[in-house]
Amino acid sequence: MAFEEKIKELLDKRSEAKMGGGQKRIDKQHEQGKLTARERIALLLDEGSFEEFDMFLTHRCTNFDMQKQSFLGDGVVTGYGTIEGRPVYVFAQDFTVFAGSLSETMSLKICKIMDQAMKTGAPVIGMNDSGGARIQEGCNALAGYAEIFERNILASGVVPQISAIFGPCAGGAVYSPALTDFILMTKQNSYMFLTGPKVVKTVTGEDVTVDKLGGAMVHASKSGVAHFVGETEEATIALIRDLISYIPSNNFEEAPYMETQDPVDRLEDSLNEIIPENPNEPYDVKEIIHAIVDDGKFLEVHEKFAPNLVVGFARMGGMSVGVVANQPKAMAGVLDCNASRKGGRFVRFCDAFNIPLVTLVDVPGFLPGTGQEYAGVIAHGAKFLYAYGEATVPKVTVTLRKSYGGAHIVMSCKQLRSDMNYAWPTAQIAVMGASGATEVLHGRALKEITDPEEKAKFIAEKEKEYNDQFANPYNAAKYGYIDDVIEPRNTRFRVIRALQVLQTKKDSLPIKKHGNIPL
């Protein structure tokens, strides 16, 4: 064969591989409002940066006459490229080839880029669009999944792992995304579940649609499985690019720094008046977050799930930070099972990847009731507590208003090795609120008072007495639990100065294989 013919053969094979399952199936993908695997990669990566692996790989299955049907690439596109100049490894399942089902050889392709990512210290981004395990391959497909899962586990905390769900993700396939750091879904055509509607109907008799069982909004608001939801595939891919900008490429790097024109010493006068006079009146903690971070930009994580706790990424003085804040606007900002899970996972991610933590506290306690106790609020709250106590990254805490009881401890108090603990003059740090404390401290005396007017006067007097002592930050400051009481409008400046001085912080944990977090 002449040299020119060999070149032509190569180019023809490349063209064939790029067509996946063929034009008909590509058209069908577009008709469903979905992009192809290659279109997704092109949107995700910097133009011209993609280098593909294993374009010519094909499956090795001969069961059910599978040898008669074969496609170059075997249903997944893999390789590496850059996002804003930073290297990332990527795989995108191709639904046009055997419905993106996972074969032994497809798993080999995915595992190869994951191994490379670990060696080079670069993030892994997986774009899922698959009908699950390739049934014709039997246990080989299951082994392929297990190989991927093991790499997800080994890569956890070493390189960031991001999963985007752009179609079906069912059965064992859901566990790879679940093992990664962030899951993104789209409002349409995106769903995850262990067992589909037909199996649910057969086993439990329950009629349920695909969307109600495992759609994007279900996982974003009810289960907490999805961290982000995009309106479209394009919007979801833009979210991935934005997310990557806040996190380092691996656990040895510092979080990315980005120059800002927003002055470090910018005063925010509105913060001096944001806390209502009535301690039971809500306000939006996101207004405080937007006011103190660079250019008011905040990338919220888990926005629809457990809204009583707000978590997400921002920059302060150009430094990437993880923000954790109680939200008085939702359930008065109490902690519950879901908020504790959400906060604990986010804190552990930031700690794993050297992202400083800024915590804004306004928490009246944990949500009481049998529902929470039966759901294991003790164990879930302990996860959050464990995450903060274990974290060795710089930790700056600002108490805005209430900080009561066990919830005070959980929210990055001084004894959990928080580095800088500030408080606004409106801070109240105590075991509980005045009303509850009065009942406990003066319960016997209250029983002896029969006149309603006299009882009301006594309660008001004792509540005032308790508030005078604890409805301020100075009692905690007296013991050094608060490093300084700051004027609210100076919060941005004080937090950034603290983060700057903590850049050289060194903290360590006792030598051990790993702790036993209360899962």
Average pLDDT over residues 243-254: 97
H or E stretch at 29: helix 23-31
**Confidence at residue 491, expressed as pLDDT on a 0 to 100 scale:** 98
Burial 250-271 (b: 16+ CB within 10 A, else e): beeeebbeeebeeeeeeebeeb
365 classed as catalytic = no
Residue 1 has pLDDT above 80, yes or no: no
**Confidence at residue 335, expressed as pLDDT on a 0 to 100 scale:** 98
| 36-40, 123-127, 184-188, 445-449: the lowest-pLDDT one | 445-449
Distance CA 477, CA 223 (A): 40
Residue 63 has pLDDT above 70, yes or no: no
Residue 451 has pLDDT above 80, yes or no: no
**Confidence at residue 137, expressed as pLDDT on a 0 to 100 scale:** 67
This prediction has a pTM of 0.94
Work out the burial of residue 37: count CB atoms within 10 Å of its CB; fewer than 13 is exposed, 13-18 middle, 19 or more buried.
buried
Q: Are 446 and 463 in contact (CB under 8 A)?
A: no
Q: Are 23 and 82 in contact (CB under 8 A)?
A: no
406 classed as catalytic = yes
Residue 440 has pLDDT above 70, yes or no: yes
Catalytic one of 172, 318, 376, 436: 172
Q: In whole angstroms, what separates CA 21 from the centre of its chain?
A: 34
Distance CA 93, CA 189 (A): 15
**Confidence at residue 347, expressed as pLDDT on a 0 to 100 scale:** 98
Residue 319 has pLDDT above 90, yes or no: yes
Which domains, ranges and CATH numbers included, belong to the chain? Answer: 15-244 (3.90.226.10), 269-427+472-504 (3.90.226.10)
Catalytic one of 121, 157, 405, 406: 406
What is the token pair recorded at 441?
Answer: 């401290």
Please name the residue ranges forming H helices in 79-196.
104-120, 139-155, 175-179
3-state secondary structure of 191: strand
Residue 364 has pLDDT above 70, yes or no: yes
**Confidence at residue 377, expressed as pLDDT on a 0 to 100 scale:** 97
Residue 68 has pLDDT above 90, yes or no: no
Average pLDDT, the chain: 92
Closest CA to 234 of 166, 306, 145, 134: 166
**CA angle in degrees (0–180, nearest 5) for 304-305-309:** 105
81 classed as catalytic = no
Over residues 321-335, the pLDDT tens digits come to: 999 999 999 999 999
407 classed as catalytic = yes
Over residues 69-109, the pLDDT tens digits come to: 777 878 899 999 999 999 999 999 999 987 778 888 989 99
Residue 448 has pLDDT above 80, yes or no: no
* Helix (H) and strand (E) counts in the chain: 20, 17
In the chain, % of residues over pLDDT 70: 97
Higher pLDDT, 78 or 471: 78
Closest CA to 171 of 151, 206, 200: 200
**CA angle in degrees (0–180, nearest 5) for 474-272-501:** 65
Higher pLDDT, 308 or 105: 308
Average pLDDT over residues 305-322: 98
What is the token pair recorded at 364?
Answer: 């009246």
Catalytic one of 21, 144, 171, 365: 171
**Confidence at residue 337, expressed as pLDDT on a 0 to 100 scale:** 98
Over residues 415-435, the pLDDT tens digits come to: 999 999 999 999 999 887 777
Report residue 450's pLDDT band, with 50, 70 and 90 as the boundaries: confident
Q: Are 365 and 405 in contact (CB under 8 A)?
A: yes
Catalytic one of 314, 407, 423, 476: 407
Torsion 215-217-218-220 (CA) sign: positive
Average pLDDT over residues 125-129: 96
Q: DSSP string spanning 451-480?
A: -HHHHHHHHHHHHHHHHHHHSSSHHHHHTT
